[in-house]
Every structure is written in structure tokens, then in C-alpha cells.
Structure 1
Amino acid sequence: MTQVDFYILDDKARINRYSLACRLTEKIYHQGRRVFIHTVSADEARHMERLLWTFRQGSFIPHGLLGSADATTTPVIIGSSGDAGEEQDVLINLAPEVPNFFSRFSRVAELIDREPEVKRSGRERFRFYRNRGYPMNTHNIDL
């Protein structure tokens, strides 16, 4: 069964959920795992692609956009459609809704920051997973 982790940034945190997504992606990549970052739009996917190049000096995370990158050689894929390609290891969800393909992943990371709409939709996703019996953890982050 899919493990769901909520990463909740403290209201006083200096970073937002996009920066947290970069940090989490880097950590997961260094563990030898594959990551699919699900965004709400193609613009947001391109934004995440740019951030992964620049979020930390000296960091390198091989990544690309779904449909453009070779998924067999690229460990981090970013997409915004209702499709995740063949990915099934770790899903980082930046969209306000639960993606219809989430259950094929071994882990799902839901990132919540101080934005009111992000908090509201995060609570809805929390209830969705809880009501269906998915194992969940909550991590409070104060970066």
C-alpha cells in the first residue's frame, strides 16, 4: 500500500513548497530512488525544472519534463498532465488535488506551505488518504 507523507512548512519558514520539493528531490535522488514531480500546469512544471538547476549551488539532479526526457535514463521526471508515464517509485505532489495515479507509487509526498489555499487543499487531501486507510506520516518543517 502507498505510504503518504505530509511535509508541512512552519508559517515562519524561509522557504516555500517549491524549494522544499527541490530539497526533498535531492535527498530521494541520492538514495537511488526515482521521483515524479506532479505539478498543476505546464508553466509550473517548467518552473520546477528551472529551480532544480538553481536551488543550491553545486547541486546536480538529473531531471526532465515528461514527454521530453528519456525516462529510462532520467531519474527525476516532472509532469503536469493526468499522466505519470511509467513512474511508480516516489511521487511529489504539488497539485491541489490527489492525482488519479497516486496509488501505483510506493510513496507520496504532499508539500504544504503557508499559503491559505495550499493549506485548505492539503487538509482535503489529508482527509482523502486517511478516509481510505493509507498509512500516513506528518513532518513539520521549520527551514
Structure 2
Amino acid sequence: MTGIDVHFNAGDKVGHACRLLRKAVMGAGAKVVVVAEPPLLQTLDEALWSFSPGDFIAHCDASAAPAVLSRSPVVLLQPQQAASAALPHHEVMVNLGTATPTGFERFERLIDVVGLEPQEREAGRERWRHYQSRGYTITRHDLGAARSSG
């Protein structure tokens, strides 16, 4: 069963996603699919090119050629592509969107990132209830507590 981690109170979702991806890819050698709406994916794509001068995180769009997809440790996926995309792996999915990502249950792990805006928090609560009602064990990570203690 998919392991689910919910990272909530993310003041900077893109910055948090960049740090998560660096840790997952460079630290653990994981392959990751990131789900978000197109404007947020575009911002993340740009941030991954400049996030850390010494750490380039290779990535591509889910619509890339199969040869590119198979070599990219990070795949950027729009929610509407989720049902039909031929993803090269099912290791880790990071959800930056507001909806429950289609097909998350095929992944070993889901990291669901929830921002600070009231509508994002409510959508995050709905996703939490969805996961919980289906019997998933959820590990919570309060990013606000981490900021205030660090």
C-alpha cells in the first residue's frame, strides 16, 4: 500500500518541492513524478534550473519522448495527463495540486504538499479524509513548526 506523507503549512511550495526533489533524487536516488497545474509546473520547471547552482536536478515534462522519460529522475505531470501518461516508474509522487492525484495508489510513496492559503488548506483536509477513508497510513509533517523552531 502506498505510504503517504502530508507536508502542510508550506509557505513556499516551489522552494519546498525543490528541496524535496534534491533530497529524493540526489540523496536517495529516487525517481519522482510531480503533479501540479500547468502554471505551478512552469514555475517549478524554472526553479529547478536555478534552485541550487551546484545541484542540477534533471527533469522533463510527462509528454517528453519515451527515451527522455526513461532517463529523467523527475517527471512533471499535469493532473489531466495522469490517466493517460506512460510514466517510466512508480516510486514517488509529489502532489503540489489541490485535487487528489489520479493514480497515486500505483506509487510506493505519495508526498502531498499543502500551502498556507485557506482554500489550499481546505483542499488538503479533503485529500487527507480521502486517504484516511481508504485505509492509508498518513505521516504528517508540519512545516510551520519546522520554520518556527529553526
Q: TM-score, normalised by structure 1?
A: 0.89
Partner of 2:9: 9
Structure 2 residue matching 1:60: 3-state secondary structure: coil
Could you say which residue in structure 2 is the equivalent of 1:85?
86
Distance in 2 (CA, whole Å) between partners of 1:33 and 1:140 is 23
2:124 counterpart letter in structure 1? G
- In 2: Cα distance, 1:75 partner to 1:45 partner: 16
Describe how 1:42-81 pairs up with structure 2 within 5 A. Answer: 43-68=39-64, 70-80=68-78, 81=80
CA deviations on 1:32-85 (whole Å, 9 max, x unpaired) are 1100000122x3222111111122232211111111261111110101133253
Cα distance in 2, alignment partners of residues 21 and 140 from structure 1: 15
> How many Å separate the matches in 2 of 1:38 and 1:79?
5
Kindly provide the amino acid, as one letter, of the partner of residue 32 in structure 2. V
How many positions carry a matched residue from both structures? 138
Cα distance between partner residues in 1 of 2:116 and 2:101 = 22
Cα RMSD, aligned residues only: 1.5
| Partner residue, 2:137 | 135
Aligned-partner residue type, residue 23 of structure 1:
R
Question: What stretches of structure 1 move > 3 A for 4+ residues in a row?
Answer: none
Superposition TM-score, scaled by structure 2 size: 0.85
Which amino acid in 2 is paired with 1:137?
T
Is the 1:9–1:17 contact (alpha carbons within 8 Å) kept by the matching residues of 2? no
Structure whose residues are more often helix by fraction? 2
Where structure 1 has 5 or more consecutive residues not aligned to the other structure, the ranges are none
Quote the residue 1:38 is aligned against: 35
Taking the aligned partners of 1:16 and 1:36, their CA distance within structure 2 comes to 19
